[in-house]
Amino acid sequence: MAQQMKTPKYSSYDIVIVGGAIMGASTAWFLSNDKDFDGKVLVVDRDPTYKNSSTMHTNSCMRQQFSTELNVKISVV
């Protein structure tokens, strides 16, 4: 499982992901769980609190757009 640390555990990595919010973290997670990948992954972020990332500001809403005739009509300007 991912650990938060100031000094990387290893001296080299196969993949370095810059930005550990939703995209970086999910990329690292999927890579780490890919049975065909056995490399080392490092996630680097300048802000370990993530407080300024978009991820911290989103409502995490998921919408299905353009799925019905009414949705299409109300999205046309």
Ligand X SMILES: Cc1cc2nc3c(=O)[nH]c(=O)nc-3n(C[C@H](O)[C@H](O)[C@H](O)COP(=O)(O)OP(=O)(O)OC[C@H]3O[C@@H](n4cnc5c(N)ncnc54)[C@H](O)[C@@H]3O)c2cc1C
Which residues in this chain contact ligand X in the complex, by CB under 6 A?
18-24, 44-47, 50, 53-55, 57-61
Q: Smallest distance, Å, CB 48 to ligand X?
A: 9
- In the complex with ligand X, the residue whose CB is nearer, 36 or 62, is 62
Nearer to ligand X, 35 or 46 (CB): 46
DSSP-derived 3-state class of residue 17: strand
* Conformation bin of residue 28: beta by default, left when phi > 0, alpha when psi is -120 to 50: alpha
C-beta of 36: minimal distance to ligand X in Å?
24
Nearest in space to 42 (alpha carbons), one of 63, 19, 64: 19
